[in-house]
Structure 1
Amino acid sequence: MDDTSLGEMGWRFTSNDFIIIQASSELSQRGMLQDLLDNGGDVSASDNSTDETYSVSLNSIGGQSITYSFTQISSDEITWDTVTNSIYRKQ
């Protein structure tokens, strides 16, 4: 999913990963947490979804936590709950 109003930014969801796409780079959240874990970090992730919503919480070094939350608008559109009026269309 992407939204050009925020620059070239988007998201990709897989069965076991949440990927942030910005410009021409992709950042696998699973990969990032695995790297921290491999280096002795205390990390975890959890997700929650319904038919209309999806959220993922990432907990990493020093107790830092970030949650990404999305709401489905239609079969091919979601909104990122953190950014007002953000609409991402399935590509």
Structure 2
Amino acid sequence: MTYLDDFEFLGNTNKVPDFIDGLKSGHSLFSLVLSYTETCEIPGITIAGADKDSIKFTPPADAEYLYYGYCKTIDKIPMTPDGKPTPALLTKMALDSA
């Protein structure tokens, strides 16, 4: 058993071997892991998403913003309930300047 046996890869699984080789090489610049669980719906546990209905769209919208420069899942970048923008803004700036 390897450390990757507990992971499920979705999407273009043909690229998984290249991804794993990149991890093993130690030359990866960035890896993004997205998740959503019902735990984040417990009141007060997260401030991701402007409201309860938008929480589940925050991870894919952040990923889209990082990759495309804009969100496809929702109309604008994710915000917190009090109007603060997603930390993905800082991540994108760091990646773009790397």
TM-score, L = length of structure 2: 0.29
Q: Find the structure with the greater CA-based Rg.
A: 2
Higher relative contact order (CA 8 A, sep 6+): 1
Structure ranking higher in helix proportion: 2
